[in-house]
């Protein structure tokens, strides 16, 4: 098969997988949780902890796919992830209590890690020259799954199906889509780190060790963590929070889906803007929007605030996916991007405390507003940190050249 054609098919397969993951993980769980809370007699702290397990597993295991990609290849990594995803969705379908729910969400996070952004960002960044554009396309199509997920949930409920049927659908879909990804991406050759050659006149790229020693790397990681914390906590509780503020069930579902649509559009715009605008500026924009969205959601009181929340949350989230990846690569290059991105994902596991803390705040105060206000403050702090951030200096790059020569 022609290499260019194969690359385009792989892009389609990866986008389809991310579509499925967006529809069936973080974005859907918050919709299904009220039904599972009622079925299992869970507290909201227990429900939020399952969301925390999903995010924690997704982050902690992020280094594993980086290792398996280097050692075993893309195909086997995606195959392993497909099996894990199927088992996770099947456990959620058959669960009868809290422990089954916890195990299912944990495996779901691991499967997400092996089939989601870690392998996809590596494949696409290594296969296309216009990385910002193709990553924007990937996150745009994938994020449309976040639009489809809530609508699919509402449609299945309207048709008389229960929450178990919903998880069964995703169990079947994970096998079909995962098999497609495995068969196509497994045939693609990705250059090893030593095969990446810098363009003439370009500075030497950073090694993992040197990058980890810079302040810039950790600020980027914290910025991503803040975005992820707002993402997971909002998706975990926005549905219930909106209904508690007088928003009807169908209206809440529509608003969350519309926010996801704005997110998809935001990813597309970020991909285009990333070719001409600095990744730092885009990251500041995403942090600012997400901070405003969290504060607005905490104090939501009418149609205008609902519209503001929907636009800022969707737009900020859409930009964050592309901006943080591009900021990392623009600062430290392509050579170590797989490992650095995986480390960023692993450290960002700390964002998973958001849903657990949010559930506890809800149980203690009767409202989710406190956790959303706290996340708004966190976003403001990271916005200021990124605003004063500067690209690692030439001295650092020269140090890398010295180490490489040794």
Whole-model pTM?
0.74
pLDDT at 202: 40
pLDDT at 115: 93
pLDDT at 204: 52
pLDDT at 190: 66
The residue ranges of DSSP E strands in 158-259, in sequence order, are none
Q: Which structural domains are found in the chain, ordered by start?
A: 3-192+202-405 (1.20.1250.20)
pLDDT at 191: 58
pLDDT at 102: 94
And the tokens for 125?
A: 């960044």
Asked whether 116 and 24 are in contact (CB, 8 A), the reply is no
Q: If we measure between CA atoms, which residue out of 174, 155, 152, 156 comes closest to residue 165? A: 156
For the stretch 188-204, what's the b/e string if a residue is b when 16 or more beta carbons lie within 10 angstroms of its beta carbon?
A: bebeeeeeeeeeeeeeb
Assign 375 to helix, strand or coil.
helix
What does the alpha-carbon distance between residue 258 and residue 151 come to, in Å, rounded to a whole number?
A: 10
The CA-based angle 351-352-355, given to 5 degrees, is 115
Asked whether 151 and 27 are in contact (CB, 8 A), the reply is no
Helices (H), 73-200: 74-94, 98-115, 117-127, 131-158, 163-185
* Euclidean distance between the first and the last CA atom of the chain, given in angstroms as a whole number: 41
CB neighbours (10 Å) of residue 3?
11
**Reduced 3-state DSSP string for 48-76:** HHHHHHHHHHHHHCCHHHHHHHHHHCHHH
What is the phi-psi region of residue 42: left when phi exceeds 0, alpha when psi lies from -120 to 50, beta otherwise?
A: beta
pLDDT means over runs of 10, the chain (406 residues): 80 92 83 87 85 82 86 90 96 92 94 89 81 84 82 85 92 95 82 49 67 91 91 83 84 82 86 86 94 91 89 91 87 82 83 80 85 92 92 54 42
What does the alpha-carbon distance between residue 119 and residue 94 come to, in Å, rounded to a whole number?
A: 29
pLDDT at 103: 95
pLDDT at 398: 47
């Amino acid at each position: 098969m022609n290499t260019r054609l194969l690359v385009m098919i792989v892009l389609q397969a990866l986008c389809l997988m991310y579509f499925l993951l967006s529809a069936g993980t973080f974005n859907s769980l918050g919709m299904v949780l009220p039904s599972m809370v009622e079925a299992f007699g869970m507290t909201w702290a227990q429900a939020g902890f399952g969301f925390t397990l999903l995010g924690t597993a997704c982050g902690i295991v992020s280094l594993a796919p980086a290792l398996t990609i280097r050692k075993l290849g893309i195909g086997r990594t995606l195959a392993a992830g497909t099996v894990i995803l199927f088992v996770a969705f099947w456990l959620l379908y058959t669960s009868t209590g809290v422990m089954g729910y916890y195990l299912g969400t944990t495996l779901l996070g691991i499967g997400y890690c092996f089939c989601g952004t870690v392998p996809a960002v590596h494949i696409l960044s290594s296969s296309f020259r216009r990385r910002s554009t193709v990553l924007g396309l990937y996150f745009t199509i994938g994020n449309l799954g976040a639009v489809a997920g809530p609508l699919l949930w509402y449609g299945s409920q309207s048709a008389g199906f229960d929450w178990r049927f919903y998880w069964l659908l995703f169990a079947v879909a994970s096998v079909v889509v995962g098999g497609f990804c495995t068969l196509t991406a497994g045939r693609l050759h990705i250059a090893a780190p030593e095969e990446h050659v810098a363009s003439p006149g370009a500075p030497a790229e950073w090694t993992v060790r040197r990058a980890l020693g810079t302040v810039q790397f950790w600020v980027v990681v914290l910025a991503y963590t803040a975005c992820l914390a707002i993402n997971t906590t909002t998706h975990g509780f926005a549905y219930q929070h909106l209904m508690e503020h007088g928003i009807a069930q169908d209206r809440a579902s529509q608003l969350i889906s519309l926010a996801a649509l704005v997110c998809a559009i935001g990813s597309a715009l970020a991909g285009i803007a990333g070719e001409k605008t600095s990744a730092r500026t885009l990251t500041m924009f995403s942090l600012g929007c997400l901070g405003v969205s969290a504060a607005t959601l905490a104090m939501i009181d009418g149609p205008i605030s609902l519209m503001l929340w929907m636009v800022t949350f969707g737009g900020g989230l859409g930009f964050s996916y592309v901006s943080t990846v591009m900021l990392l690569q623009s600062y430290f290059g392509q050579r170590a991007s797989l490992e650095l991105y995986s480390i960023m994902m692993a450290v960002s596991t700390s964002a998973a405390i958001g849903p657990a803390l949010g559930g506890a705040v809800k149980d203690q105060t009767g409202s989710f507003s406190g956790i959303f206000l706290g996340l708004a403050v966190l976003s403001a702090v990271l916005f200021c940190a990124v605003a004063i951030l500067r690209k690692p200096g030439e001295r650092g790059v020269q140090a890398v050249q010295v180490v490489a020569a040794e």
